[in-house]
């Protein structure tokens, strides 16, 4: 959804109705997670995807139908079995979609939500998917304000509280309530779609490897900053558009920068005078991933220096060094792929092994 919002905002601003299909629930080996979206707009233009191609044809028709009728629909697609002409998923999974028409009259908060996402301001959108409340009704929830209604004041109050809790976690999924927001009832189903600001990737060392890592980090949805103390290397023209470039001593910049449990830190400075004080700071603060480039000899020397600086074994155990998975990478671009692969594997609990050498579900439930 985040990727297609700029196009949808353009349609919305132009007051062109469009049909929006959103994955609200999945089971087994579903191809896309809740929150994945596809929209059909003017001249039958299609943006986004909900299944990687399995059911998009049927969703295209559904989107056209809801725009014509003005009424939202809830549809489930499962395995298509042996019927070659059946609409369904070939992976054996199941997805449930909410397909709704979007106009300024039906969803007056949509424009403000799109603007918030573009500006990296956190917002959660709550949408009724089932029950006596109006299907497709939306409530936009920011940390300090709300817009819209799900039909009753009690339901709005309960959903607002939950939406703000989910927003802090960046979580997305279905929640169940009574008709007036009663807890522990399953009468009204609401889909909470959280748009937390994108996680940060901090890349230290403005070398050619940094440009490749920054590029793949941007592709993966991170807000990327490259930092180096040497102004001759830390120039914006050496890095992809949209990547922030900072000239400062790495450890000093990190000390003044907020990080959280989603932050990725890649230390590519490859120089003890930069990376040792930087890693002293990094390994003592919240981060999802801390990786440092260098040979095994460099790693041993770095570990010795960090130990002498007072870091504990528990703190040192957080360091991924040498950085990346063993892919046999040589070029900066290949090294960037190995670093990205390690980040993804660590995020989702992957083994890094070839799928041909593993068994069981490719996408474990809840992952």
pLDDT, position 30? 59
Residue 328, by phi and psi: left (phi above 0), alpha (psi -120 to 50) or beta? left
What is the DSSP annotation of 78-127?
A: -B-TT-TTS-SBTTS-EEEEEEEEE-TTT-TTHHHHHHHHHTT--EEEEE
pLDDT tens for each residue of 171-212: 889 999 999 999 888 999 999 999 988 899 999 999 899 999
pLDDT, position 26? 86
pLDDT, position 8? 97
- pLDDT category, 79, cuts 50, 70, 90? low
Which position has the token pair 């703190």?
Answer: 315
pLDDT, position 29? 59
pLDDT, position 56? 86
> How many C-beta atoms lie closer than 10 Å to residue 182's C-beta?
14
pLDDT, position 87? 47
pLDDT tens for each residue of 333-357: 999 999 999 999 999 888 888 888 8
Which position has the token pair 């990080």?
Answer: 259
pLDDT tens for each residue of 83-119: 433 444 455 568 899 999 999 999 999 999 999 999 9
Nearest CA among 211, 263, 6 for reference residue 117: 6
Strand pairing partners for 265?
A: 202, 290
- Do the Cβ atoms of 173 and 197 come closer than 8 Å? no
Instruction: Give the C-alpha separation, 158 to 178, whole Å.
Output: 10
Percent of the chain predicted with pLDDT > 70? 92
């Amino acid at each position: 959804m985040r990727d297609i919002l700029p196009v949808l905002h353009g349609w919305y601003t132009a007051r062109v109705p469009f049909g929006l299909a959103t994955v609200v629930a999945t089971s087994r080996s579903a191809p896309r997670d809740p929150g994945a979206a596809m929209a059909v707009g003017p001249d039958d233009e299609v943006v986004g995807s909900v299944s990687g191609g399995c059911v998009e044809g049927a969703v295209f028709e559904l989107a056209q139908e809801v725009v014509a009728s003005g009424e939202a629909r809830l549809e489930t697609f499962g395995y298509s079995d042996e019927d070659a002409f059946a609409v369904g998923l070939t992976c054996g999974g199941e997805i449930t979609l909410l397909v709704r028409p979007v106009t300024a009259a039906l969803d007056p908060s949509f424009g403000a939500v799109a603007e918030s996402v573009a500006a990296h301001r956190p917002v959660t959108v709550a949408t009724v998917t089932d029950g006596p409340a109006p299907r497709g009704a939306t409530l936009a929830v920011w940390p300090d304000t709300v817009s819209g209604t799900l039909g009753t004041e009690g339901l709005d109050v309960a959903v607002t509280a939950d939406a703000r809790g989910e927003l802090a976690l960046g979580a997305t999924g279905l929640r169940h309530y009574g008709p007036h927001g009663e807890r522990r009832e399953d009468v009204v189903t609401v889909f909470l779609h959280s748009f937390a600001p994108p996680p940060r990737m901090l890349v230290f060392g403005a070398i050619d490897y940094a440009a490749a890592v920054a590029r793949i980090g941007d592709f993966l949805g991170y807000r990327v900053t490259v930092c180096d103390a040497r102004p001759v290397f830390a120039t914006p023209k050496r890095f992809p558009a949209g990547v922030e470039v900072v000239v400062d001593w790495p450890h000093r910049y990190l000390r003044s920068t907020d990080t959280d449990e989603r932050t990725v830190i890649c230390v590519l400075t490859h120089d003890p005078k930069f990376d040792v004080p930087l890693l002293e700071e990094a390994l003592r603060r919240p981060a999802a991933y801390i990786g440092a480039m260098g040979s095994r000899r460099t790693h041993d020397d770095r570990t010795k220096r960090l130990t002498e600086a007072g870091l504990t074994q528990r703190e040192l155990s957080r360091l991924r060094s040498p950085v990346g998975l063993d892919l046999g990478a040589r070029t900066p671009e290949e090294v960037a792929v190995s670093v990205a692969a390690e980040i993804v594997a660590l995020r989702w609990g992957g083994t890094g092994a070839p799928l041909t050498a593993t068994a069981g579900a490719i996408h474990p439930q809840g992952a």
